Chain A
Amino acid sequence: RKEVEQDPGPFNVPEGATVAFNCTYSNSASQSFFWYRQDCRKEPKLLMSVYSSGNEDGRFTAQLNRASQYISLLIRDSKLSDSATYLCVVNIGDAGGTSYGKLTFGQGTILTVHP
């Protein structure tokens, strides 16, 4: 089983639509959670961190369910510029709570927003 699993999509949605991506992780010792965005032929960049209480950044809402080991990203009012691959990312620490710099990336979910 992969450490971080995502639905690869692709998701094709019209402008203005709401779209949700899901992600599951296998290691219960995971410490930190992120969504990265990667444009075509570009490097990944941090979109937002994901906090236990859920957090919002403009049109983007991230949620974390530690009990289910599940992370989600909701995009409201989709724009053409939201077209990209969205990577679910987990920082896996050890059982003692030590966190390392290493991040584990999901395969990514491809989103295409069309006019």
Chain B
Amino acid sequence: DAGVIQSPRHEVTEMGQEVTLRCKPISGHDYLFWYRQTMMRGLELLIYFNNNVPIDDSGMPEDRFSAKMPNASFSTLKIQPSEPRDSAVYFCASSFILGTGKEQYFGPGTRLTVT
């Protein structure tokens, strides 16, 4: 398996622009997670899906952030409009749960810089 795939790997954009991050989870996994990592705040869970349905979006910073999962093999995280404080590494992860929490497999991340 190719693992979790994220694109783009790097994104540099200007303040006010729309940014779309993409994720393809591991085939067969039924959970998908979006995280944001900064030096100051560490790894923060933004939102997660189970069987394509958003379960908990309490970590989404504000209305500028939105996430969708139209099918089991694709998810997007959109920031509109972007701001410099959104600069971070955004990770997508997926897992297959049976009972208690299991290992999450992370993608390589998208390094976002908003100028």
Contact = CB atoms under 8 A, between A and B. Distances in A.
Given A31-B100, A101-B31, A101-B101, A106 B42 contact: yes
Contact of A101 (B43, B48, B91): B48
A9 B101 CA distance: 27
B44 to A, nearest CB: 8
Interface stretch (B19-27, B67-75, B78-86, B104-112): B104-112
Given A31-B100, A32-B101, A91-B100, A102 B45 contact: yes
B103 interface: yes
A108 B35 CA distance: 15
Interface string B84-98: 000000010001010
A46 B95 CA distance: 12
Contacts, number: 58
A87 B50 CA distance: 24
Contacts of A31: 100-101
B100 A93 contact: yes
Interface of B: 31, 33, 42-43, 45, 48, 50, 55-56, 91, 95, 97, 99-104, 106-109
Given A43-B106, A44-B43, A102-B56, 17 more contacts: A32-B100, A32-B101, A34-B103, A42-B108, A49-B103, A99-B101, A100-B101, A101-B48, A101-B55, A101-B95, A101-B97, A101-B101, A101-B102, A102-B48, A102-B101, A105-B45, A107-B42
Q: Which 3 A-B pairs have the closest CB atoms?
A: A91-B101, A43-B106, A101-B31
